């Protein structure tokens, strides 16, 4: 009986520890070697955190898509994308309603802008 309980505990623990390894966690440990590019670094961040609303066509009240390189550039240049992801105001920050992206991902997007918004 005792052993059965331990086995259940083990299975439950194993299940939960695996379920925490999602794509977002993997994105956070990307080590950027060289210049940041949309294809190598930025697209995954947008796909994991923004595309659920900013799809093409956008849903949930989002005003524009962030589905392509051109879409994301336009949002940085004309829609204050960097200010929106950097904000500490939960009523303003993107992703809408928060939480704010992990700081290293925000920094990566800022670095991408500083390096000239390279595609590849």
**Interface ranges with ligand HEC (CB under 6 A):** 49-50, 52-54, 60-63, 66, 75, 79-81, 84-85, 94-96, 101
What is the nearest approach in angstroms of ligand HEC to the Cβ of residue 51?
Answer: 8
Q: Which two tokens stand for residue 18?
A: 């695996």
Query: Of the two residues 33 and 89, which places its CB atom closer to ligand HEC in the complex?
Result: 89
User: What does the alpha-carbon distance between residue 59 and residue 56 come to, in Å, rounded to a whole number?
Assistant: 8
User: What does the alpha-carbon distance between residue 74 and residue 3 come to, in Å, rounded to a whole number?
Assistant: 59
Query: Of the two residues 64 and 118, which places its CB atom closer to ligand HEC in the complex?
Result: 64
């Amino acid at each position: 009986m005792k052993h059965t309980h331990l086995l259940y505990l083990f299975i439950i623990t194993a299940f939960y520890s695996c379920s925490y390894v999602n794509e977002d966690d993997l994105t956070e440990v990307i080590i950027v070697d060289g210049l940041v590019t949309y294809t190598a670094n930025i697209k995954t961040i947008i796909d994991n955190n923004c595309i659920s609303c900013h799809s093409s066509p956008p849903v949930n009240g989002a005003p524009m898509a962030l589905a392509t390189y051109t879409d994301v550039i336009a949002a940085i240049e004309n829609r204050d994308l960097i200010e929106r992801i950097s904000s500490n105001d939960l009523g303003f920050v993107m992703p809408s309603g928060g939480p704010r992206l992990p700081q290293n991902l925000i920094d990566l997007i800022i670095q991408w802008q500083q390096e000239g918004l390279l595609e590849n």
